[in-house]
Amino acid sequence: MEMLQLILDGDATPEQQDEFRAHIAECMPCFNSYQLDNALKELLKTRCNGKGAPQALVDKIKMQISQITPH
Ligand SMILES: [Zn+2]
> Roughly what angle, to the nearest 10 degrees, separates helices 14-26 and 28-48?
120
Per-residue pLDDT at 59 exceeds 90: no
| Domains identified in the chain, total number | 1
What does the pLDDT average to over 22-44? 88
List the domain range (segments joined by +) for residue 12: 2-67
48 CA distance to ligand 1 middle (Å): 31
What local confidence, expressed as pLDDT, does residue 25 receive? 93
What does the pLDDT average to over 3-17? 86
Query: Would the pTM count as exceeding 0.75?
Result: no
**DSSP summary character for residue 11:** -
Q: What residues does the ion ligand 1 have nearby, CB within 5 Å?
A: 27, 30, 71
What does the pLDDT average to over 10-15? 91
pLDDT grade for 67, boundaries at 50, 70 and 90: confident
